[in-house]
Homo-oligomer: A and B are copies of this chain.
Amino acid sequence: MNYFHFLLIAIFFILPVRGDSLSVYSPDNVVGVQFFLVEGVPYYSVQRFGRDVVQKSRLGFELQDIPDLKTGFTINDVTNTHHDVTWKQVWGEKKYIRNYYNELRIDLVERGELKREMTIVFRAYDDGIGFRYEIPEQPAIGEFNIMNELTEFALTGDHEAWWIGAYQWNRFEYLYENTPLSEVDTVHTHFTLRTENDLYLSFHEAAVVDYSTMALERTHDYTLQVNLFPWADGVKVRTAAPMVTPWRTIQMADDPGGLITSYLILNLNESNKIEDTTWIKPGKYVGIWWEMHIGKSTWEIGPNHGATTENAKRYIDFAAEHNFDHVLVEGWNKGWEGDWYADGVVFDFTTPYPDFDLAGVAQYALDNGVRIMGHHETSANILNYEEQMEDAFALYEELGVRAVKTGYVGHGTEIVWYDEDDNENHEWHHGQFMVEHHQRVVELAAKHRISLNVHEGVKDTGLRRTWPNLMTREVARGQEYNAWGGEGGNPPDHVVILPFTRNLSGPFDYTPGIVELHYDEYRPDNRINSTLAGELALYVIIHSPLQMAADLPENYEARPDVFQFIKDVPADWYDTKVLHASIGNYVTIIRKDHNSDDWYLGSITDENGRILEASLSFLDAGKEYVAEIYRDGKNADWINNPYDIVIEEKVVDSSMTMQLRLATSGGQAIRFRPL
């Protein structure tokens, strides 16, 4: 197809064309992308309703030892296509997702001697854009190393930004900063911004496979550039044609809630590759975990060892009685002695401690209709784990385990491997080395019909669409910081920033549900920094298909009234909507149960109390529902009176409005069940 042919086809999509640029507009003409070559150099820009969101920004690559792919291009072919497909999630925050976009493919070729080919693909959605590079198979390129991806995002002003810094020792486990764009250096994605016109933007990437993950570096003024986490030798990506890069994505919405209900990143991932998904089941779990975090017991064997046969059976009894699906057991295997998270200590993934009868406990669980959730803490010793992991997953499969929590505790560049010459290489958690490792783990786990819950891993880029056994992950600052985080743990605004940043990428094993908000016996200087009702609301706010009830069984037994909500709330959803959204201030999310006609509402706020009006129009019209309400009492206050909760029932219908009164750092959780 030549250039003129393209023009004939595309006339239906393409409206104003700027100069001799090529354009693609989203189906409802909300978002537009312009591509243009200036003296052989590729650039693009992005508009929303005709106004620039990204100004003229560079595209291309710098390569190792061979000429860069950044200039001297001419357009070989252009294809403009329209797509509209609705697909079904195996599990998730929404059952049916519409993938509705217009695509512009631009096949570039070098004018010089090499005549190397590179394609740039733009997809314009009404809620944002994605674009990627493709290097097709061709004589002039075989294996090659990317030293720099030149992709820029030249923003239009000093937007308000929410971010965590990249290249920090503790990976993604930081509190978010809220500053003008001009105070940003190099940040992880999701990187979320608010323009002065109240347009919300969030930058991320989709489908990171065989590539490094990206940070965004502010190179000058309001311009960001892709900054790929390098290998130890400085190479950013080791690859070979044919290859495709991850999608660079910008989600856009007039209301920050629109970011939460944007499925652009999932849409840019490939379809499910697992044929039989019947073994992939969302569920809830309890486990031997919080008791170690608050210091009641230990991971390593000893007088207070948590993972004993007896203690595990106690949790299994509790799980069975209250219908939980899994019981996580951490600290069950050899290797937890000493300073395991520094270096030197090597975990054994198949040998339990002598006080833990792995096979017996697993069978006891099965006999009670529950399963053990396995645990692989790697201490970021990848070589050790990769040597054992085939056996480790096989063992768990044999024991009836269907979900494994993995851990990669290890600081900054503590991931070590040895090359052919036995040189020691230190890698980042976020680079291509680890992207490839995690890909191997998810495929191995799938082979053993095991789903994953990854802690300290790489960020989610939507691969759960392709590998739905990659169910949830941490990769953020979770509840555990309230146990021992010092400096106040997670401050009240943390959980009202997460929905607009970290959580945009996918499920988060935050481990909510601590109902005994103080644990002075063990950690007198720490507490949960919210009200009791606020803690319950997190089950709706934070989606995780493997969702934990994180507190100790005895604490739940002391509060059966409150525990009822945690027992009722599902971990898999048919639909998700956002009723109120203000980044770092408050958020109300409603979700429909995947398996019933129940709806759930969660609303939380920061250290300021709020009055929010919630229309119940999401309920089926003409039908009565019982609202099981868990709300802050009139005198609730997160500092002095966090346990003041009112639990009550009301008959409601879709024509009604409820006033949500959220105490300081409080919240409200509601189950709506048809009468």
Contacts and interface: CB of A to CB of B under 8 A. Distances in A.
A524 interface: no
Q: Which of A198, A258, A663 has the most CB of B within 10 A?
A: A198
A634 interface: yes
A68 interface: no
A608 B655 contact: no
Contact of A48 (B609, B615, B634, B654): B609
Nearest to A27: B634
A8 interface: no
A226 to B, nearest CB: 27
Interface in A5-42: 15, 28-30
A412 B527 CA distance: 60
Nearest to A252: B611
A607 to B, nearest CB: 8
A601 to B, nearest CB: 14
Interface stretch (A101-109, A110-118, A442-450, A579-587): A579-587
B586 A635 contact: no
Given A198-B582, A635-B15, A663 B49 contact: yes
A375 interface: no
B51 A611 contact: no
A661 interface: yes
B617 A586 contact: no
A654 B621 contact: yes
Contacts of A635: 15, 29
B621 A653 contact: yes
Contacts of A621: 621-622, 653-655
22 contacts: A28-B611, A28-B661, A30-B609, A48-B609, A49-B664, A50-B609, A51-B607, A51-B608, A197-B606, A197-B608, A198-B585, A198-B608, A253-B611, A254-B610, A254-B612, A255-B582, A258-B611, A615-B617, A617-B655, A621-B654, A621-B655, A622-B622
A529 to B, nearest CB: 16
A51 B254 contact: no
Contacts of A253: 611
Contacts of A28: 611, 634, 661
A199 interface: yes
